[in-house]
């Protein structure tokens, strides 16, 4: 047989598009409500209702890193947290389903796809979901006067993808080695929820004690929130922005490598 050139990685990822389309077709209705309504509830409850008290208390722009209102302060945090939430969720139960209940991964790697191809396609789909829901969220926020500049409003969207990436891949790696879905409670309790509350989305982390501040700075969500806020408030600090981007990309890349490794250990025996 004539040896043909092996198809490239991109080709192998594209071959999985139809699978992911069927997944999206099946699940979008269930996730649409969750991913569009939840952030709106946060905007209403925390941004507008709680925000009214905060703004009236005279915290002022100085205490809120230059934000004109409490809502403008937390809006970028909410978007980043949304990216974290969706990204982490896509890498939990759906991954367990493909490992344990439907064994989709086993059938995929019996085809010419490699585990790297499978992980890449899964990550891209998760980012598609992050991008879609954060995109809608950012649009919905437009009338609330939270953007100080047009370019910032546009750039915050790719940042939400970066934040998503920094959660999609590490959580995928974690899930790949889990034998039961009980481990997901751990991700929520020691990961998602504390980060959501303490990584600067709702108050400047300077309010925390020194050690806790450093802990907050180590979380990917803090980097995502800070970077998003720089953009929506149009207070770009290029060198800090570069640090945030590099941190998120590094976590995403390490997570990808870890996912491939853990999934290989699990599937190739």
Partner 1 sequence: MIEARDLRKSFGGFEAVRGIDVEVPRGEAFGFLGPNGAGKTSTMRMVAAVSPPTSGRLSILGLSPIDDGPAIRARLGVCPQEDTLDNDLTVRDNLVVYGRYFGLPRTEVSARADELLRFMQLTDRAGDKVEDLSGGMKRRLTIARSLINQPDLLLLDEPTTGLDPQARHVVWDKLFRLKQQGVTLVLTTHYMDEAEQLCDRLVVMDGGRIVAEGSPLSLIRQHSTREVAELRFGVGEHEALADQVADLAERVEVLPDRLLLYTQDGEGTLARVHERGLNPVAVLVRRSTLEDVFLRLTGRTLVD
If the CB atoms of residues 235 and 264 are measured against partner 1, the closer one turns out to be 264
Taking the complex as a whole, how short is the minimal distance between the CB of residue 18 and partner 1, in angstroms? Answer: 5
| CA–CA gap between residue 38 and residue 32 (Å, rounded) | 10
Tokens 């009338």 belong to 143
Comparison of 10 and 212: residue with beta carbon closer to partner 1:
10
CB contact burial 185-205 (16+ within 10 A = b; e otherwise): eebeeebbeebbebbbbbbeb
The answer to whether residues 115 and 268 touch, using CB atoms and an 8 Å cutoff, is yes
Residues present in the chain in total: 269
Q: How far is the CB of 47 from partner 1 (least distance, A)?
A: 36
Q: Considering beta carbons, is residue 1 or 185 the nearer one to partner 1?
A: 1
Q: Which residues make up the interface to partner 1 (CB under 8 A)? A: 6-7, 11, 15-19, 22, 26, 101-104, 106-114, 267-269
Nearer to partner 1, 55 or 117 (CB): 117
**Least separation, in Å, of the C-beta of 111 and partner 1?**
4
Residue 104 token pair: 């989709």
Cβ–Cβ < 8 Å for 130, 86? yes
5 versus 185: smaller Cβ distance to partner 1: 5
CA–CA dist 262, 233 (Å, integer): 40
In the complex, the smallest distance separating the C-beta of residue 175 from partner 1, rounded to whole angstroms, is 18
User: Considering the complex, what minimum distance in angstroms separates the CB of residue 161 from partner 1?
Assistant: 25
In angstroms, give the least distance from the CB of 14 to partner 1.
Answer: 9
Cα within 13 Å of Cα(142), Cβ side? 9
Q: Give first-to-last CA distance, the chain, whole Å.
A: 30
Crossing angle of the two packed helices 238-267 and 150-176, in degrees rounded to 10: 30
Question: Which candidate, 256, 262, 265, 264, places its Cα nearest to that of 119?
Answer: 256
Tokens 């086993």 found at? 106
């Amino acid at each position: 047989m004539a040896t043909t050139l092996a198809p490239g990685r991109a080709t192998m990822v594209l071959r999985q598009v139809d699978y992911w389309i069927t997944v999206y077709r099946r699940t979008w209705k269930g996730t649409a409500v969750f991913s569009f309504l939840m952030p709106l509830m946060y905007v209403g409850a925390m941004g507008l209702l709680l925000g009214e008290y905060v703004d009236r208390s005279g915290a002022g722009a100085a205490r809120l890193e230059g934000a004109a209102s409490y809502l403008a302060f937390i809006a970028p945090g909410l978007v980043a947290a949304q990216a974290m939430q969706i990204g982490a969720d896509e890498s939990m139960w759906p991954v367990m389903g493909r490992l344990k209940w439907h064994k989709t991964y086993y059938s995929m790697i019996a085809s010419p796809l490699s585990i790297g191809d499978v992980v890449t396609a899964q990550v891209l789909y998760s980012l598609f979901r992050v991008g879609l829901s954060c995109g809608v969220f950012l649009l919905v926020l437009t009338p609330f006067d939270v953007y100080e500049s047009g370019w910032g409003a546009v750039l915050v969207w790719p940042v939400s993808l970066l934040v998503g990436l920094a959660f999609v891949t590490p959580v995928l790696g974690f899930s790949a080695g889990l034998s039961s879905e009980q481990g997901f409670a751990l991700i929520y309790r020691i990961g998602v929820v504390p980060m959501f509350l303490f990584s600067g989305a709702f108050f400047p982390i300077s309010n925390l004690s020194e050690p806790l501040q450093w802990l907050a700075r180590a979380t990917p969500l803090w980097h995502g929130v800070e970077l998003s806020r720089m953009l929506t408030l149009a207070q770009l600090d290029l060198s800090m922005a570069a640090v945030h981007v590099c941190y998120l990309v590094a976590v995403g890349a390490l997570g990808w490598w870890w996912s491939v490794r853990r999934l290989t250990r699990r599937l190739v025996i």
